[in-house]
Amino acid sequence: MKYKDTILEEVCRFLILSIQIFAFYIILNGHLSPGGGFSGGAILGSSLIIIHLVFGKSYLQKKINSQNIPAFISIPLIIYGLLKLHSFLSDTLHWPHPPIGTPGKILSSGFILPLNIMIGIVVAFVLYQAFSYFWDEEF
């Protein structure tokens, strides 16, 4: 379903870019400032929903093939599980830790940054998939 509205399309072309930059900022700064994987992923998912509503499903289909979305959801979840398993077992089994880094920098606090990125990807695609089930009734 596509609404042919030139003003809406041109405004959204700039708005979606800033929404996505803000979402990536929240995900990457999740361990330093308010936010994190879930909040940033929800914002990223809402930007995908806006693209779907404004430019139509075929426009998003060119960028992201909808048959690959289950893989986009499951592969980060598997990586998340493996990283979390490593962080649970590494203390008792004396496995190597990731470098802690200097506090306050982006590359710090060990596993939290990759876990936030994985959760952000999962939440964004799950919310988009839930919306797309409602809107297009394709199961």
Q: Which is nearer to another protein, 36 or 76 (CB)?
A: 36
In which residue are the tokens 């075929």 written? 58
Q: C-beta of 23: minimal distance to another protein in Å?
A: 9
Residue 73's identity, in one-letter code, is: I
Among 8, 9, 32, 38, interactor with another protein by CB under 8 A: 38
Among 7, 63, 99, 134, interactor with another protein by CB under 8 A: 134
Q: Which is nearer to another protein, 88 or 135 (CB)?
A: 135
Q: C-beta of 8: minimal distance to another protein in Å?
A: 16
Q: C-beta of 52: minimal distance to another protein in Å?
A: 10
| Long-range pairs, 26-30, Cβ under 8 A, ≥24 | 27/116, 27/117, 27/120, 28/106, 28/113, 28/116, 28/117, 29/106, 30/112, 30/113, 30/116
Which part of the chain contacts another protein (CB under 8 A), choosing from 4-12, 45-53, 70-78, 102-110?
45-53
Count of alpha carbons within 13 Å of 17, Cβ hemisphere only? 5
Is residue 46 a contact point for another protein (CB under 8 A)? Answer: yes
Do the beta carbons of residue 49 and residue 84 sit within 8 Å?
A: no
Is residue 20 a contact point for another protein (CB under 8 A)? Answer: no
Q: Report CA-CA distances (Å) from 44 to 24, 78, 137, 138.
A: 8, 21, 22, 22
Do the beta carbons of residue 73 and residue 129 sit within 8 Å?
A: yes
Q: Which is nearer to another protein, 53 or 64 (CB)?
A: 53
Binding site for another protein (CB under 8 A): 26, 34-36, 38-39, 42-43, 45-46, 49, 127, 130-131, 134-135, 137
